[in-house]
Amino acid sequence: MADRDRIRDARLAPVRRESVILHVDMDSFFVSIERALDPRLARQPVIVGGDPSSRGVVVACSYEVRGRGVRSGMPMGRALSLYPEATVHACRPRYYAQISAGIFRILSRVADKVEQTSVDEAYIALSEEALGWAGELDAGERIRRAVRREYSLAASVGAGPSRMIAKIASRLAKPDGIRVIPPGAVPSVVHPLLAVKMGGIGEKTAARLLSLGIRTIGDLAAADEKHLRRAFGKNGTLLSRLARCEEDFPVLAFRDTPDPKSMSNERTLRRDTDDPERIDEALLFLTERLARRLRSERLVGNVFHMKIRFGDFRTILRSKTLPTPTNDERTLLRLAREAHLRFGEGKPVRLLGVGLSGL
């Protein structure tokens, strides 16, 4: 679930001051995998995406390519007009998902509480009592060394007193670095940043904040909560308290979910898209992650659920009872593809979700 959906839908929990949060973000994940497989690409501009001769879009691109304005979700033809000498590689979502699974096994060796939020990102909760504010540097470096040693890939790591601060720290650490923002450094490091850099604030919300004279995270932290509540309803209170690090979303490992009767995963796409390759990559990630969760808990289910939220925020939910219980990713992927083909093909999609019940 993306941060903006968390702000809208989730119930917030108080920040646990006894814990340190790490945010691990793989650098140019898909591009880095292709470069690890073919070292000749190391100094070349690379685009991973669909067929330029069809409706393919950019799935990922190297930093050099981004420098000329190429972005994920851009039509391949447009991307190549901006950077015609770039090397194009077809997207291989199943292989990327396998590498992702291996990396998150590394993270699980460092801490018990690891929450994977996408194919290339995760949050980790560390005990401050055990580590202190110097210990997360060691934990972050151990993660980075292990990922590089086992997969020849770079990871950026951020640490802070909350998820939001940790994610900001990892962005500041890119590429291939580590950054720690302890509580006392938040005003000097985080408050000057634009409010849109805070998870959960999109362009429309940022524009509304600007109309209220709120430009930076510090402005938001200092704003009168009553005024924010009048402008944004309950989300105003949440945004205010998040900016002040007074509330946060807890890091939840799979084992923290007690005795589920159902399991599900959702993913908000970075941009609304009707591109079949981007959608299939998301479905592959969601179904493989769901299958791993089910198998880790030794569970099977016999009712498949599919959620599709379109670009206009219209949402459909569909269910299908299966003849036999399953936790097989191939079965789940086939069902997800069928549901999207039947109910969502050709429409811009904002969010996808898959689940199993009857566990």
Catalytic residue among 64, 121, 128, 297: 121
Instruction: Examine the domain organization and report whether 195 and 122 are in the same domain.
Output: yes
Cα angle, residue 11 at apex, residues 8 and 14 outer, rounded to 5°: 125
Q: What's the pLDDT at 329?
A: 83
Q: Is residue 311 part of a domain?
A: yes
Q: Is residue 225 part of a domain?
A: yes
Q: Is residue 36 part of a domain?
A: no
**Contact (CB, 8 A) for 161 and 17:** yes
**CATH number of the domain where residue 226 is located:** 3.30.70.270
Phi-psi region of 234 (alpha: psi -120 to 50; beta: other; left: phi over 0): alpha
Please report the sign of the dihedral spanned by the C-alpha atoms of residue 41, residue 42, residue 45, residue 48.
positive
Q: What's the pLDDT at 254?
A: 54
Q: What's the pLDDT at 248?
A: 64
pLDDT (tens digit per residue) in 57-110: 788 899 999 999 998 778 888 999 999 999 999 888 778 888 988 998 899 888
Instruction: Examine the domain organization and report whether 137 and 234 are in the same domain.
Output: yes
Q: How far apart are CA 302 and CA 221, in angstroms?
A: 47
Instruction: Examine the domain organization and report whether 229 and 273 are in the same domain.
Output: no
Q: How many domains would you assign to the chain?
A: 2
121 as an active site residue: the answer is yes
Q: Is residue 70 part of a domain?
A: no
**Contact (CB, 8 A) for 127 and 88:** no
Alpha helices in 297-358 (DSSP H): 329-343
Could you list the mean pLDDT of each consecutive 10-residue stretch along the chain, which spans 359 residues? 38 47 92 94 90 75 92 85 93 83 87 78 74 68 94 95 91 94 92 85 82 94 92 84 78 57 82 81 86 81 89 82 84 89 81 88
Instruction: Examine the domain organization and report whether 119 and 236 are in the same domain.
Output: yes
Domain with 111, as residue range(s), is 3-27+96-248
- pTM of structure: 0.70
Q: Is residue 45 part of a domain?
A: no
Instruction: Examine the domain organization and report whether 125 and 182 are in the same domain.
Output: yes
Residues present in the chain in total: 359
What tokens appear for 101 in the block? 């699974």
Give the CA radius of gyration of the chain. 21
Instruction: Examine the domain organization and report whether 324 and 221 are in the same domain.
Output: no
DSSP-derived secondary structure for 146-157:
HHHHHH---EEE
Domain ends where: 194, 213, 248?
248
Instruction: Examine the domain organization and report whether 276 and 236 are in the same domain.
Output: no
Q: Is residue 112 part of a domain?
A: yes
Instruction: Examine the domain organization and report whether 214 and 312 are in the same domain.
Output: no
What tokens appear for 169 in the block? 């720290």
Instruction: Quote the DSSP letter at residue 306.
Output: E
Instruction: Examine the domain organization and report whether 283 and 229 are in the same domain.
Output: no
Instruction: Examine the domain organization and report whether 101 and 219 are in the same domain.
Output: yes
**CATH number of the domain where residue 261 is located:** 3.30.1490.100
Q: What's the pLDDT at 185?
A: 93
Interaxial angle between packed helices 93-110 and 29-37, expressed in degrees from 0 to 180 and rounded to the nearest 10:
100
Q: How far apart are CA 195 and CA 209, in angstroms?
A: 8
Alpha helices in 68-117 (DSSP H): 76-82, 93-110
**Contact (CB, 8 A) for 28 and 45:** no
Phi–psi pair at 231, nearest 5 degrees: -80, -35
Domain ends where: 248, 266, 286?
248
Q: What's the pLDDT at 105?
A: 87
**Contact (CB, 8 A) for 319 and 305:** yes
Residue with tokens 């007193």: 161
Q: Burial code of 137-158, b = ≥16 C-beta within 10 A, e = fewer?
A: eebbeebbebbeeebebbbbbb
Q: Is residue 87 part of a domain?
A: no
Q: How far apart are CA 88 and CA 174, in angstroms?
A: 23
354: amino acid identity, one letter: V
What tokens appear for 53 in the block? 């001769």
Q: Is residue 74 part of a domain?
A: no
Instruction: Examine the domain organization and report whether 101 and 151 are in the same domain.
Output: yes
3 state DSSP class of 14 = strand
Instruction: Examine the domain organization and report whether 290 and 227 are in the same domain.
Output: no
The secondary structure of 109-155, three-state, reads HHCCEEEEEECCEEEEEEEHHHHHHHHHHHHHHHHHHHHHHHHCCCE
Domain ends where: 205, 231, 248?
248
